[in-house]
Structure 1
Amino acid sequence: MPFVPPAPLLATAAETESSALVLAGVLLSLVVVYLASKIGGELCARINLPPVLGELVGGVVVGVSALHLLVFPEGGADASTSVIMNFIQMTTGLSSEAIASLFSAQSEVVSVLAELGVVILLFEIGLESDLKELIRVGPQAAVVAVVGVAAPFAAGTIGLITIFGVPTIPAIFAGAALTATSIGITARVLAEIQRLSSREGQIIIGAAVLDDVLGIIVLAVVASLAKTGEIEVTNVIYLIISATVFLVGSILLGRFLSPFFVSLVNQLKTRGQLLISALIFAFILSYIAAAIQLEAILGAFAAGLILAETEKRGELEKQVIPIADMLVPIFFVTVGARTDIGVLNPAIPSNREGLIMAAFLIVVAILGKVITGLTVFGQPNINRLAIGVGMIPRGEVGLVFAGVGSASGVLSKSLEAAIIVMVILTTFVAPPLLRLVFQNGPDASATEPADLALAAGQTQPLTETVGLQGDRVESDTLESNSEPGQH
């Protein structure tokens, strides 16, 4: 009689096999992500478009809209629609129930890696930003952010009610989706075209950070309105106070503690002492931001700003680059993979009304952000159009609004399709437009602080971001007295 292992032993073996297959599924997903990001990025680089646009398009190709290599249950997909899951089932003989469980776990892991990627991206952007310059352009950034939220929200909501007869609450929700700005996409493009440290770049980043905070507050308000039919004023006040206290308090406290951070790092002897210590600091601030109902990316950005003020900035920038190269593409490819461009098909009757409303929302979404550049004051010879264009992309932030609205059931199919179309178009149009307006804009404001330092004979290390190829390279120090390479 053959030996039959006890039930707990069989369960343990099954769990071990399941864990191994989850890892296998994640690894296959990462292969797809990296191939999509590299192929898409290289193709865009060769036609003089930002590589981030290629990563988004690559995501669309491998995602729910085309090849179904990378799909997620949040979009209504299941294991049977995933090519990767079908391949694993074919090669391992797993049951349909086991594959469904595996699909859920694999999707969750990839989503977490994507979120970690945007956290690292914002940490890197914080390191590359100048806190003093952000503070200097703070008033301008605040005006840009407020106008960039208020103008499209009011125009979108009123237009949907008066022109299309949309009920008040769904119209407010759609108007709220127009307020979003994807700081991740804009910051990546600014870094690629080497305009992150320009006056325009700093105003855009500062305004996008404030826009993110305001967007969180608006999302909380409209979500509460959708659920209860009324606005919880106490929740709105809490979000405003917590966001202000967190951003100001973390930066002030961080600047006070940064000398202790440098001293601690200098005393450590093990490998990676600077990078690991910096990531610990960034993740702690990200957790605090998430715990008080803000976005984790705000904490990561604040951490980057704080550490950029230390003498370890240049060294830390170099060490973060490989981590960003590994994780950030996951974020952009998954944003594209989740986007269903099937809502653009006019042959489907239910899409037609949505496409008409989408055309209206796209016009409001673009004009409502472009006019923000006109509100910048006290900055002569600045590229105002570039500032407005930099605020256009909705990206993952707009998809969050659409997702919350869909889950609440407050949006009709046509209005939900219109919001998704608006997010798609503004996300894909903004990167090439941003590069174009910077190329044709005033030259006076394009001078980087590092270039000014070079002209003054100062020496300091510099890490640049390559524009055309999308890969970051470490430049020589300015002590070589040579200009940074043009990309």
Structure 2
Amino acid sequence: MISIIVLILGALLVGWLATKLHLPAVIGQILTGLLLGPSLLNLALPTDWLHLGGEIGVWLLMYEAGIAVDTKLLKANFKIANRVAWLGALVPFTVFMLIELALHQTLLVASFSGLVFAATSISITLAVLGTHHQLGSRIGSVILGAAIIDDLIAIIGLTGLTMLTSGNGFNWANFLPLIWFILGYISRRFTRIMPVSHGLITLATWTVIPLFFAGIGRQIDLASLSSHLGPLVWWTLIAIITKMLGAILASKWSGVSLLEATAIGSGMIARGEMALVILTAGLASQLITASQFGFYTAVVTLTTVIAPFIMDPLFKRLK
């Protein structure tokens, strides 16, 4: 238990330091797991407790995502947000699926890869929009609406893929992320229980959620990644370009100016926590190997780090 506490405290500290460098806290938490994991310091950890904490962290992340769904905001900009979400998800999904098929992966693995890069991070998007006072703007509303729809697409896709990989028979465990998302969405509608929900999320933010992200960093194999630097750079570039391209095309289709369309596209780049949840489920279902998990996680992490640097100059021009 002491080593688990050390891991959580380290993740919180490095996550806080990351925010001081204008990076998402999740990046610092992943780096903590990498630092304390087998690739570097190799801190001994009780794997059962780490797995349980990570599972609870996933569920509460989904609960938080459900709470974040603002129905009024979604309705007000639904038409353009829906186009941005679907085209912004379809382009990377198709491209990465075709890449994996060209690399002789199965259709199931190829579809999983596409799903990972179809996701969008709500939390990263919220942070950058808040910095530029764009949360209440039309552009901000479109980005958040599209990010919410993207998460819905990702959760439904994840549920379907985990069912396919679990063999015959019904397993409630496959639906737990979706169930927690729905519970979060429902709880937002009951003001009396919102203080309890926010208290639960606050507790999770200080415990199991950083443990989940640190656990992801712990599973990254630096030795394996060092021999794949070329593909890592290419995949990151493709992940950024495909997401922006889909969102820009959808925005222009809806009559938005090129600058605003590009800003919307930049707001969809970060894959963040949702993609990491999908990756964790894929590893648990043995849909991907530990080596693939580490590679995908590195790409997701890079898109999350790079996204704010692309968003900042664009949103400054919108002021």
Q: TM-score, normalised by structure 2?
A: 0.75
Q: Does the residue aligned with 1:339 lie in a helix, a strand or coil?
A: helix
The structure-2 alpha-carbon separation of the partners of 1:192 and 1:54, relative to structure 1 and needing over 3 Å to count, comes to farther
* 1:390 Cα deviation after fit: 2.6
* Map 1:96-175 → 2, pairs under 5 A: 104=48, 106-111=49-54, 113-115=56-58, 117-118=60-61, 121-122=64-65, 125-126=68-69, 129=70, 131-162=71-102, 164-175=103-114
**Aligned counterpart for 1:44 among listed residues 18, 40, 57:** 18
Q: C-alpha separation between the residues in 1 aligned to 2:289 and 2:282?
A: 9
The structure-2 alpha-carbon separation of the partners of 1:341 and 1:226, relative to structure 1 and needing over 3 Å to count, comes to closer
Residue 259 of structure 1 aligns with which residue? none
Alignment gaps of 5+ in structure 1: 1-24, 70-80, 86-102, 236-286, 444-487
Per-residue CA shift, 1:112-131, capped at 9, x if unaligned?
Answer: 552464256436634xx5x4
Matched-pair contact (CA < 8 Å) for 1:372–1:387: no
The structure-2 alpha-carbon separation of the partners of 1:197 and 1:302, relative to structure 1 and needing over 3 Å to count, comes to farther
The structure-2 alpha-carbon separation of the partners of 1:302 and 1:197, relative to structure 1 and needing over 3 Å to count, comes to farther
Structure 2 residue identity aligned to 1:44 = A
Q: Does the residue aligned with 1:300 lie in a helix, a strand or coil?
A: helix
**Aligned counterpart for 1:370 among listed residues 238, 244, 250:** 244
**Aligned counterpart for 1:421 among listed residues 298, 303, 312:** 298
Matched-pair contact (CA < 8 Å) for 1:65–1:337: no
Residue 212 of structure 2 aligns with which residue? 334
Residue 279 of structure 2 aligns with which residue? 402
Per-residue CA shift, 1:387-425, capped at 9, x if unaligned?
Answer: 223322333432344344445555466645432332232
Q: C-alpha separation between the residues in 2 aligned to 1:47 and 1:141?
A: 30
* Map 1:11-410 → 2, pairs under 5 A: 25=1, 29-30=4-5, 32-41=7-16, 43-63=17-37, 65-68=39-42, 81-82=44-45, 104=48, 106-111=49-54, 113-115=56-58, 117-118=60-61, 121-122=64-65, 125-126=68-69, 129=70, 131-162=71-102, 164-191=103-130, 194-223=133-162, 294-304=178-188, 306=189, 324-330=201-207, 331-340=209-218, 342-345=220-223, 348=224, 352=227, 355-374=229-248, 375-376=250-251, 377-379=254-256, 383-410=260-287
Q: C-alpha separation between the residues in 1 aligned to 2:290 and 2:67?
A: 38
The structure-2 alpha-carbon separation of the partners of 1:351 and 1:49, relative to structure 1 and needing over 3 Å to count, comes to closer
Structure 2 residue identity aligned to 1:40 = G
Matched-pair contact (CA < 8 Å) for 1:151–1:368: yes
Per-residue CA shift, 1:332-380, capped at 9, x if unaligned?
Answer: 45214322474443xx5x973x554444432332112112331122556
Aligned length: 312
Matched-pair contact (CA < 8 Å) for 2:125–2:270: yes
Q: C-alpha separation between the residues in 2 aligned to 1:116 and 1:222?
A: 17
Q: Which has the higher contact order (CA 8 A, sep 6+)?
A: 2
Q: C-alpha separation between the residues in 1 aligned to 2:267 and 2:53?
A: 28
User: What is the aligned-residue RMSD (CA, Å)?
Assistant: 4.0
Residue 242 of structure 1 aligns with which residue? none
Matched-pair contact (CA < 8 Å) for 1:52–1:189: no
Q: C-alpha separation between the residues in 1 aligned to 2:132 and 2:35?
A: 25
Q: Which has the higher helix share?
A: 2
Matched-pair contact (CA < 8 Å) for 1:343–1:417: yes
Q: TM-score, normalised by structure 1?
A: 0.53
